[in-house]
Amino acid sequence: PAAIHLTDYAPPQWRIEQVDLCFLLDPADTRVRSRLQLRRTVSQEAPLVLQGEELKLISLTVDGQPMASGNLHQDENSLTLHELPAQCTLEMETAISPEANTALSGLYVSGGNFCTQCEAEGFRRITWFLDRPDAMTLFTVRIEADKARYPVLLSNGNLTDSGDLPEGRHYVVWHDPFPKPSYLFALVAGDLVCQQDRFTTCSGREVDLRIYVQRHNLDKCDHAMRSLQKSMRWDEDTYGREYDLDIYMIVAVDDFNMGAMENKGLNVFNSKYVLARPDTATDDDFVAIDSVIAHEYFHNWSGNRVTCRDWFQLSLKEGLTVFRDQEYTADQSLRAVKRIGDVQRLRSLQFPEDAGPMAHPVRPQSYIEINNFYTMTVYEKGAEVVRMIQTLVGREGFRRGLDLYFERHDGQAVTTDDFVRAMEDANARDLRRFRRWYDQAGTPVLDVAGEYDAASASYRLTVRQSCPPTQGQSEKLPFHIPLTLALLDSQGREIPLRLEGESQASPGERVIELTAPDHVLVFHDVPEAPVPSLLRGFSAPVKLRFPYTHEELAFLMGHDTDDFNRWEAGQQFAVQMLQGQIHDIQAGREPMLDPLFQEAFARVLDNDTLDTALVAEALTLPGETYLAEQMQVVDVDAIHQARQFTRRALGEALAARFRAVYDALRDSSGVAGEQMDAAAMGRRRLRNLCLAYLCATGEESAPSLAEAQYQAADNMTDAMGALRALMDCPGAIQERSLAHFEARWRDEPLVLDKWFGLQATASDAGALERVRRLMQHPRFSIRNPNRVRAVLGAFAMANPVHFHAADGSGYELITNQVLELDALNPQIAARLVTSLSRWKRFDAQRQGLMRTCLERIVAHPGLSRDVYEIASRSLG
Ligand code: B3K
Ligand code: ZN
């Protein structure tokens, strides 16, 4: 398969000014009639090239006449029309089979209902079209279907007509007044019910809000509806963005390749990000739903009103919209807790991507299959890049820049460069060097050292930046990096900062702009040797290295005035200790718990002035994938043993305190009385963490404590907290709790996914056999992406000890499933292959085994572009 390059971009030579679509829906044989009003945009003759995939062309006319056969060329994925008049009407009929569409891209059937997914290139699986984001068109959509089976018929925009037809059929017509690219098209048809509410916009317009679900899910929509209303208000208050149609619809479907899709006025969602009741969804689910609902809503401006010129610009809408949803969530609860979660995700998922064979810039330069580039880099690193711009120009300056961006580009398809230019123009700033964040892959490293000179009362920080080579980019130019810092005195107070050349000191923290490979910062009037608090709030997506002593880290854990950095100090301390333990284990020595760490850890547990959610974050050890990131040669077994050892040792040493905190939080834990606010969630989180430590000790009474919690739980957070803790305690209690859960929830797919996932990630012996058994379970289906993610995805990404079993059995299992899945759903198969892509990070034996699997995949006949791209890049 051939790669597509950013440098080959050329604007379309034809415009589709208007399209009328008519769908005659039938699961096996749907007919799509389209009428395109075409206008050539260049003066000389130019062929019209339309894209199509798995389509059967039934008929075609231009201005009502059949085309001369010499002027029409059809091959597998394109339709080329020559010698068209500069302005004309093209009419076509195509036949498609939604029920045979297992790729879940284009028009397909889920749970007996029709739905669509068109981003990035799914529309071409519906009809021939200029399927590119810079081709914006006015859509009018007529849908005809059997009325009893498909009472609800939806598309984008406003409903303009509807009525009955002979033979029990009916029709609707939807018109979207906003021109849009085809990737934002949506159609839904089925037996659905809706929860309805309303929203009055800031200018007083009434918007009809609807969440469509299958009837048995109608009692799980309250939370999503409230989230939608909150996001609409927040975007008005924070960014002055008002909704622009009279209706906003969300549809939940069970079979969906990703989280959700921002189709204009008609979002289609994975039901996982809509449905929630306290007894079926955990606190984390509630928070995730809130943020995905917000994310898709925010796309209405950052994505739909202003969209991408081409798919290389994907981060223009995704990075910006992730940034916006992160800010929204931060405003709903504790900002620092949100930041910690986002940074954990970035470091454990995006940093490895940036250091592996799939590394690519936030604006990639080439791709084979665009669906492979909906990545942590484009989304999460892209959001960090937007956040850095805000740090550089300030919150108000950022708002000015965003206003200018929307004003300038409303109704256009633009580039990340246009976005940066708006920020520059609104703030009179030069961000030329900053643009390198969009073009250079890899995670920059900051090596920082500090030196205090008592005689001159000055403190000297030297900062050196570097960035490791990535595919096709061996040399990197220096990045423009905002480094937020403060200097703390021995009481933990921020020392006023006066840099060399400044006449006056300023209190508080400072944003230092690094633009060169090396910087020397000299601070004056520093009364004592300070402890620097660096990269506060994680002000840039970099790896910071500073030679802190354990004493300094313990000090920062207790005193840093930046909440994020207080947490970060604890993580760094834990990483250092765990690394020592890993060495001990590798050398056959007994690992040890550092008493200084234990003390600092206990002080956090005892600190009742801190928010419980922050305490819980601080007491959570760095994850295994993050620890793996820090090792030259990843040793999954030693990492797991060290982490388990530390959990157990802390649990034993502090058992009485964990128990006391657990008991103290008991009464406030349940959901009775509307306890779904951030404070109650924080308490449940800390309480479940205490339970997990108690269960990690192996102490006899712990499993009964967990079982009692499981049985008494009136909410899924506590039920899952107990079950998760029990995964550390094999035995009768664990077995009967799992069995009870399965029996109780077998008909709730989203809840049953938790049961599958918990077992797929269990680290005790026999994991592989268990995964094989799970795949034989009557409710397992390789066609349902959520279930595949719950079993195979969870095993490959979150069960390192068994996925990387030394005999290669984990790799074999995943490879076989990848190949089976590829024939059905290439997008999901490709995601699974990424688990094999970082083979070079392991020992020689595992390298050989993973490599062999990748070679077997690449050699497989009929492989999709999706899987080919990931597997071949991994080998290259
Ligand atoms: N824009 C969609 C993602 C589409 C993925 C296509 N493979 C959801 C989102 O980011 O909001
Ligand atoms: Zn998005």
What are 688-744's pLDDT values in tens digits?
Answer: 999 999 999 999 999 999 999 999 999 999 999 999 999 999 999 999 999 999 999
Atom index in ligand 1 nearest the CA of residue 371 equals 7
pLDDT digits (tens, 9 = 90+) for 433-482: 999 999 999 999 999 999 999 999 999 999 999 999 999 999 999 999 99
Atom index in ligand 1 nearest the CA of residue 120 equals 6
- Collapse the DSSP code of 216 into the 3-class scheme (helix H, G, I; strand E, B; otherwise coil) and give the result: helix
Tokens, residue 761: 């990630």
In the predicted structure, residue 422 carries a pLDDT above the cut 50: yes
Q: Interface pTM (ipTM) of the complex?
A: 0.99
Confidence of residue 674 (pLDDT cuts 50, 70, 90): very low
Residue 296 CA: which ligand is closest?
1
pLDDT digits (tens, 9 = 90+) for 845-862: 999 999 999 999 999 999
pLDDT at 671: 52
Is there a cis peptide before residue 120, judged by omega within 30 degrees of 0? yes
- Beta strand pairing call for 87-96 and 106-110: unpaired
The Å distance, Cα 298 to ligand 1 centre, comes to: 13
Residue 104 CA: which ligand is closest?
1
Residue 261 CA: which ligand is closest?
1
Contacts of 496 (CB under 8 A, 6+ apart): 505, 506, 507, 508, 525
Q: Please give the helix or strand (H or E) that residue 15 lies within, else none.
A: strand 14-24
In the predicted structure, residue 624 carries a pLDDT above the cut 70: yes
Confidence of residue 673 (pLDDT cuts 50, 70, 90): very low
Tokens, residue 250: 């969300």
**Is 494 in contact with 506 (CB distance < 8 Å)?**
no
Q: Please give the helix or strand (H or E) that residue 461 lies within, else none.
A: strand 458-466
- In total, the chain counts a number of residues equal to 876
Task: State which of 119, 270, 273, 866 you would mutate to test the pocket of ligand 1, scoring each by most atoms of that ligand within 8 A of its C-beta.
Answer: 119
* Of the candidates 228, 230, 233, 241, the residue with the CA atom closest to the CA atom of residue 194: 228
In the predicted structure, residue 336 carries a pLDDT above the cut 90: yes
Ligand 1 neighbours by CB, cut-off 6 Å = 119-120, 258, 260-262, 295-296, 299, 318, 371, 374
Task: State which of 116, 118, 250, 262 you would mutate to test the pocket of ligand 1, scoring each by most atoms of that ligand within 8 A of its C-beta.
Answer: 262
**Helix-, strand-, coil-residue percentages of the chain, each rounded to 5:** 45, 20, 35
pLDDT digits (tens, 9 = 90+) for 351-399: 999 999 999 999 999 999 999 999 999 999 999 999 999 999 999 999 9
* Of the candidates 737, 703, 701, 732, the residue with the CA atom closest to the CA atom of residue 719: 737
Helix axes 826-833, 809-822, angle to 10 degrees: 160
The Å distance, Cα 314 to ligand 1 centre, comes to: 10
**Which residue minimizes the CA distance to atom 1 of ligand 1?**
261
Atom index in ligand 1 nearest the CA of residue 827 equals 7
Q: Where are the beta strands (DSSP E) in 76-192?
A: 78-81, 87-96, 106-110, 113-117, 137-146, 152-155, 158-165, 169-180, 187-190
Residue with tokens 């910062």: 521
Which letter does DSSP use for residue 792 in this model?
I
**Which residue minimizes the CA distance to atom 9 of ligand 1?**
261
Distance in angstroms (rounded) separating the CA atoms of residues 76 and 566:
58
Helix axes 636-653, 655-664, angle to 10 degrees: 70
Q: How far is CA 7 from CA 41, 365, 621, in A?
A: 21, 8, 45
The Å distance, Cα 117 to ligand 1 centre, comes to: 9
Distance in angstroms (rounded) separating the CA atoms of residues 610 and 588:
39
pLDDT digits (tens, 9 = 90+) for 487-532: 999 999 999 999 999 999 999 999 999 999 999 999 999 999 999 9
**Is 692 in contact with 724 (CB distance < 8 Å)?**
yes
* Helices (runs of H) and strands (runs of E) counted in the chain: 29, 30
Is there a cis peptide before residue 441, judged by omega within 30 degrees of 0? no
| Residue 46 CB-half CA count within 13 A | 17
Tokens, residue 329: 């969530």
Q: What average pLDDT score do residues 215-233 get?
A: 98
**Is 467 in contact with 440 (CB distance < 8 Å)?**
yes
Residue 374 CA: which ligand is closest?
1
**Which residue minimizes the CA distance to atom 8 of ligand 1?**
261
At 731, give phi and psi (nearest 5°). 145, -170
**Which residue minimizes the CA distance to atom 5 of ligand 1?**
119
Tokens, residue 26: 């039938």
The Å distance, Cα 259 to ligand 1 centre, comes to: 7
Q: What average pLDDT score do residues 658-671 get?
A: 80
Distance in angstroms (rounded) separating the CA atoms of residues 876 and 872:
6
The Å distance, Cα 262 to ligand 2 centre, comes to: 7
| Residue 494 CB-half CA count within 13 A | 17
pLDDT at 676: 84
pLDDT at 667: 64
In the predicted structure, residue 659 carries a pLDDT above the cut 90: yes
- Beta strand pairing call for 307-308 and 366-367: unpaired
Radius of gyration of the chain (CA): 28
- Beta strand pairing call for 531-534 and 413-414: unpaired
**Is 224 in contact with 241 (CB distance < 8 Å)?**
no
- CA 262: distance to chain centroid? 14
The Å distance, Cα 299 to ligand 2 centre, comes to: 7
Q: What average pLDDT score do residues 171-195 get?
A: 98
pTM, to two decimals: 0.98
Distance in angstroms (rounded) separating the CA atoms of residues 873 and 562:
41
Atom index in ligand 1 nearest the CA of residue 292 equals 11
**Which residue minimizes the CA distance to atom 10 of ligand 1?**
318
Residue 183 CA: which ligand is closest?
1
pLDDT digits (tens, 9 = 90+) for 528-573: 999 999 999 999 999 999 999 999 999 999 999 999 999 999 999 9
pLDDT digits (tens, 9 = 90+) for 262-311: 999 999 999 999 999 999 999 999 999 999 999 999 999 999 999 999 99
Distance in angstroms (rounded) separating the CA atoms of residues 335 and 343:
12
| Residue 866 CB-half CA count within 13 A | 23
**Is 737 in contact with 704 (CB distance < 8 Å)?**
no
Helix axes 732-745, 716-726, angle to 10 degrees: 140
* Of the candidates 565, 499, 502, the residue with the CA atom closest to the CA atom of residue 531: 565
Residues labelled catalytic? 296
The Å distance, Cα 140 to ligand 1 centre, comes to: 23
Q: What percent of the chain has pLDDT over 90?
A: 98
**Which residue minimizes the CA distance to atom 3 of ligand 1?**
261
The Å distance, Cα 43 to ligand 1 centre, comes to: 36
- Residue 165: Cβ within 10 Å count: 12
Q: How far is CA 110 from CA 144, 261, 266, 721, 792, in A?
A: 18, 15, 17, 31, 21
Look over the chain and give the mean of its residue pLDDT values, rounded to a whole number. Answer: 97
Distance in angstroms (rounded) separating the CA atoms of residues 393 and 491:
32
In the predicted structure, residue 97 carries a pLDDT above the cut 60: yes
The C-alpha torsion from 604 through 605 and 607 to 611, rounded to 10°, is 90
Distance in angstroms (rounded) separating the CA atoms of residues 724 and 720:
6
Q: What angle do CA 281, 727, 600 make, to 5 degrees?
A: 90
Tokens, residue 874: 């991994």
At 32, give phi and psi (nearest 5°). -120, 115
* Of the candidates 679, 681, 684, the residue with the CA atom closest to the CA atom of residue 661: 684
